[in-house]
Amino acid sequence: MTDERGSDKHGPMLDEQLDGETQSIVDGSPIEARAQERRQMEAPGDDEPEPDARIRGDRGFTPEGSLTPEEVEMRSDLARWIEPSVFPADRETLLMSAERQGAPDDVVGMISMLPEGTEFTNVEAVWEQLGGRREQRA
């Protein structure tokens, strides 16, 4: 929308704010911004179902060889709270990354169960070390 002066640009302060909000996306590193609190989905209100309540539990719809919804959620939580840039990483590095990202206690607890002195190349390696199954894709 053009103002009275014929300008369609924001003021300098708004431009700087917008630049800061989109910097990680513009610079090609949107993954590091995924755990920021302001980007998290708002929790449901009183008497409202959780957004993923309809997919909780297997309910017999999981194809053979696929991960159950619970396994997918656990693996996703690991990936969400560990910065991709820390790999390859050992247990201590993974713990520091998760704590920097503000990971919940259950995720920190899972990472704490990893053996000391082992280097992990990616989240999938962490998942498998914790007993997670590799997903079979068709």
Does residue 59 or residue 9 have the better pLDDT? 9
pLDDT in tens, 44-90: 788 877 665 445 555 566 666 777 778 888 888 899 999 989 999 99
| Residue 23: its H or E element | helix 12-26
Q: For the segment 78-120, what is each residue's pLDDT rounded down to a tens digit? A: 999 999 899 999 999 999 999 998 999 999 999 999 999 999 9
At CA 24, angle to CA 29 and CA 72, rounded to 5?
55
Q: Which residues pair with 89 in a beta bridge?
A: 120
What is this structure's pTM?
0.56
The phi-psi region of residue 102 (left if phi > 0; otherwise alpha if psi is between -120 and 50; otherwise beta) is left
Q: Nearest-5° angle of CA 60, CA 128, CA 70?
A: 30
